[in-house]
Chains A and B, each alone.
Chain A
């Protein structure tokens, strides 16, 4: 009964979305007040209906209703309750339901926090989001209904959740990622609404900025979590594989990063308007493309779960309609947009534009690397794969000019400036850079040019950003958004130094060890103590204990090899001693004969800095949104217009 309620509200929400996607839009174009007023109630309705739907699915999971096919495939009565709930988005159908629910959530947020905006404009934005919802709801209902029953005969127990997903990282990673993906639909809807209304001005940019920042922050958090999860859960000690699925989330991130910078110019200087619109369309289109790539199964990937080509076709058609429609509208309307603002070659505008060019170039390279294998195969040239070294190499070239532009742009004035004015920053920045680089160089003895350059660039960004902060603070009291920018840029510096040092100084060894034997890596001595058999709620495991010593310090590490009975799957749980300066990492490989094990040991300096960078960026975006002027813009309660 409960699943039927969920299914029913899902169907009704499609009706509501169809109304939302049409009526207020017609109302806004023809100026019919009654139609415009309908937008907000419809948004509330869709949100309520989808919440019920999601709740019903969670209910079915919680109470082990295996007569629901999706539950039977992705849960098991032995699964702990928190994994049973997170299993809601553990596979295709449920994760799409989460997708549309999050879309409804964002739509509702727009409806609530834009009371100070012109009602007609809000109606347009909500309506565009309604159109997006129509496509996805139809997709869920017609190709991936999570409430499908297994009647007449249903299984006694479920097939269990994929053990890879039975992890805290995977409870929060997908919702975060989807908050980011779907969040870009707000920027998209604002852009389309502005194009429809022919009102592209700095007000539009001010309105869409906090939303874009929020979406970007969530996406950053999602990607960071995903990387952290892959690091400890896959047992390889890697944190980014340039896997198509990862690239699919990275592309909207790059477009989103370009967008938040371009929006800044549009808001403050009323320039780059059509470029900003194009980026807003791209960011969301790439989110859709990401969904398509991951869900259609046309990609060969280590993380591509449950996939089906008919679904791929549906998303592909939907993708073509949304992107094609948006770009057509853009082509028709954008020519009317005039950016009257003038600026000189050396100005913050131009530097931000250069930043955008770099981000878009990176985006195109990732797109090329991700889609080329597909195209190559489809035109009959055989299967190929493009290895991680390709992306690594490009990224290492790319970061050099990008870091330089990033470090000076905040110091340069709008409109026009002189390079000579920046001289004052040189001495302190060079000093700090030299100091940091030298310390890192001496500690890790980095004798590779490109890695040392990475360290220098990171230190340089840190120093220049800090200098900018000090200088600006002398002049005025800084708004929160300024702190946010500084923090996000420091986050990037942390990421760069993390990558450079980890890539260079990590040591890794695969060894054959008997209990009692030990292996040395750098100054660390890893001693294999013993292996015990342990039992978890839905698995049995070998638990290997290791004692790592370095001088007088001792660290206990426990690595597990889990066997999940239901899916007869083997999973590796790495044993990690985490630290700001280095991680010690042990994972069990195979059980060889005579009690010996294949063991992978790593010492990974600075690896935490990667995720620290991500965290700083997320905090930066949060600070920007918390800025006073957006609070004024977004205020829900004060004076309606």
Chain B
């Protein structure tokens, strides 16, 4: 009987070791891949909740409205630069590649990228949703301070500048 008990003990130990390994791997992978969401004013002034500003070089996610007239294209490459805003300060986003179909001035977008200086983000991905009246929910919330507003039902948010 002792052998069986020992066997069981080793099995359980192995299970625990496996579990610990798995959990640590998951947490490690997670810690490297969480992107905080910022609005342009939060990048300049720090997070609303905590006041913490993002550090240079940090990977983050930014959402804002594309400022009218701010889109500048490089004539020879696909390099494009534009400014986004929410309620005040503007942040410049530079991106090389194809913008989504619904990227337009005055339209809400979300970009994933790195902060390269205090108000410039170098994006590796720009997202805009396939919907005319769409605004990223994070942005709608940040701009209005209201939870769960369906963007299309709120006329104040329809594609306009704040």
Q: Could you list which residues of chain A lie within 8 angstroms of chain B, going by C-beta atoms?
A: 162-164, 235, 297-298, 300, 302, 307-309, 345, 361, 365, 368-369, 372, 380-387, 389-390, 393-394, 397, 510-512, 561, 567-572, 589-590, 592-593, 598, 600
Contact = CB atoms under 8 A, between A and B. Distances in A.
B26 A598 contact: no
Nearest to A401: B18
A390 B132 contact: no
Contacts of A163: 130
B11 interface: yes
Nearest to A594: B75
B30 A386 contact: yes
Interface in B91-125: 96-99, 101-102, 112
Contacts of B64: none
Contacts of A389: 29, 32-33
Nearest to B152: A306
A192 B48 CA distance: 48
Most A CB within 10 A of own CB, among B29, B36, B102, B150: B29
A368 B7 CA distance: 33
A390 B102 contact: no
A593 B76 CA distance: 11
21 contacts: A302-B129, A302-B130, A345-B11, A372-B30, A381-B49, A382-B36, A382-B49, A383-B37, A384-B37, A385-B35, A390-B30, A390-B34, A394-B29, A510-B96, A512-B76, A561-B101, A569-B101, A569-B131, A569-B132, A589-B98, A593-B75
A309 B149 CA distance: 9
The 3 A-B pairs of least Cβ separation, nearest first, read A589-B98, A383-B37, A390-B33
Contact of A345 (B7, B73, B150): B7
B40 interface: no
B25 interface: yes
B150 A390 contact: no
A149 to B, nearest CB: 20
Nearest to A365: B26
A365 B148 CA distance: 27
A89 to B, nearest CB: 18
A365 B73 CA distance: 41
A421 to B, nearest CB: 20
B78 interface: yes
A572 to B, nearest CB: 6
Contacts of B112: 385, 387
A512 B127 CA distance: 20
Contacts of A386: 30, 33-35
A250 B136 CA distance: 24
A593 B131 CA distance: 25
A72 B133 CA distance: 18
Contacts of A369: 30
A243 B25 CA distance: 21
A569 B30 CA distance: 36
B32 to A, nearest CB: 7
B22 interface: yes
A164 B100 CA distance: 14
A384 B49 CA distance: 13
Contacts of B97: 510
A162 B137 contact: no
B35 A384 contact: yes
B49 to A, nearest CB: 6
B77 interface: yes
A40 to B, nearest CB: 43
B78 A572 contact: no
A393 B101 CA distance: 30
Nearest to B98: A589
A167 B50 CA distance: 46
Nearest to B48: A382
A238 to B, nearest CB: 11
A572 B98 CA distance: 12
A368 B26 contact: yes
Contacts of B78: 510-512, 589, 598
Interface in B38-89: 47-50, 61, 73, 75-78
Given A589-B98, A590-B99, A383 B36 contact: yes
B35 A568 contact: no
Contacts of A368: 26, 30
